[in-house]
Every structure is written in C-alpha cells, then in structure tokens.
C-alpha cells in the first residue's frame, strides 16, 4: 500500500510500510493555532517520517509559472524549515487534533532531520519558461543556512530522487 499526497500537479507516493507522511501545511494546528499565534508562520509542504529519520519536503513547480517572489529561494526554505520545526514542537504539546499531536511526537523522536527541496523546472529551456533556478546554487545556500539541521540538504526533481528517498513522484 502507498499513501499519496498531491501538491498542485505533482503526486507523491509514500510506502505505508516504511513510515508515515503528512501534508503539514494542511494541518489544522498550523492553519488555526500556529499561524494565528505568530501572524506569518511558514510551513514545509510534506513531512515524511521513515524508520530512520524525519524528512521535511518543500515542493516548487516552475514548469508553467515563473518564480515571482523577491526573496532568495534558499532563504525562503530555511525560514520554512525553522517555522516547521517550531510548529512540530508546539503541536506535540498543544495540537487539538490527536493525530497531529501523535505525528509530531513521532517526527520529533527521530535522531536526524533531512531537508529536501523538490524543484521542478522546464526540461527544455525557452524564453517563456527558462530554467531560471540553478539547483546547485540553491543547494549551496541551503547548506549554509541549514547546516545545524541538515548538513546535506537535497535539491531534486521527479527524475533525480535518491535511493534513500523511499517515495516516488509523478506529474
């Protein structure tokens, strides 16, 4: 069996027998309690807890729309990681939903956090949709920003997932 999570045009499939996945930015705790408390808390898209570690996954799909935010992508992701980790700690104690509270507890018990930016860009360069983001530059920024959390963050697309990433992506 697999658990599927869809974000825009991408569908992530996680093996049920290897861990638990949750669409964190849809949690009622994040939407109703945490965001109201701080006004502008950020959130990673998916949290995947496997047998060894907790994965924080952010999804960016620029195949049809360009990036318009002025903030550096690496900095944006670092803020989302920070806020998501703080949100998990708070949810472990204060989430109204028992399932969210239990998921946060399970995620925080792991000894390692992994950060993944799932970045889809046009396969072919064009003037309308150029490959404007260099994954190697984003990865370098993430290493600088997140070295205390994950010294080896990943920047992948659906064709470059590593074997340790037990999920698949279609879309």
Domain positions in the chain are 24-162
**Interatomic CA distance for residues 171 and 168, integer angstroms:** 10
SS3 at position 75: helix
pLDDT of residue 129: 57
Are 50 and 19 a contacting pair, CB within 8 Å?
Answer: yes
Q: Which residues are within 8 A (CB) of 122 and not within 5 positions of it... i.e. 6 or more apart?
A: 62, 63, 129, 130, 131
pLDDT along the chain (171 residues), means of 10: 92 95 96 79 96 97 81 93 96 96 98 97 68 87 96 96 96 91
pLDDT of residue 3: 94
CATH class belonging to 24-162 = alpha beta
pLDDT of residue 127: 62
Measured distance between the N- and C-terminal CA atoms of the chain, rounded to whole angstroms: 20
pLDDT of residue 83: 95
pLDDT of residue 64: 80
What is the DSSP code (8-state) at residue 22? Answer: E
pLDDT of residue 113: 98
For residue 141, which of 89, 81, 86, 83 has the smallest C-alpha distance?
A: 81
pLDDT of residue 68: 78
pTM of full prediction above 0.85: yes
pLDDT of residue 126: 63
């Amino acid at each position: 069996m697999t658990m599927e999570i869809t974000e825009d045009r991408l569908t992530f499939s996680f093996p049920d027998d290897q861990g638990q996945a949750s669409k964190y930015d849809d949690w009622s705790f994040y939407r109703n309690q945490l965001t109201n408390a701080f006004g502008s808390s950020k959130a990673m898209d998916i949290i995947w807890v496997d047998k060894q570690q907790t994965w924080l996954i952010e999804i960016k799909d620029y195949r049809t729309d360009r990036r318009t935010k002025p903030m550096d992508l690496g900095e944006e992701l670092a803020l989302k990681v920070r806020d998501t980790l703080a949100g998990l700690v708070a949810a472990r104690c204060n989430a109204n939903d028992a399932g969210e509270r239990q998921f946060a507890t399970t995620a925080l018990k792991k000894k390692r956090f992994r950060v993944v930016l799932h970045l889809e860009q046009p396969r072919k360069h064009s003037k309308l949709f150029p490959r404007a983001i260099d994954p190697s530059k984003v990865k370098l920024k993430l290493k600088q920003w997140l070295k205390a959390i994950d010294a080896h963050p990943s920047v992948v697309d659906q064709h470059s997932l590593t074997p340790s990433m037990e999920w698949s992506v279609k879309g």
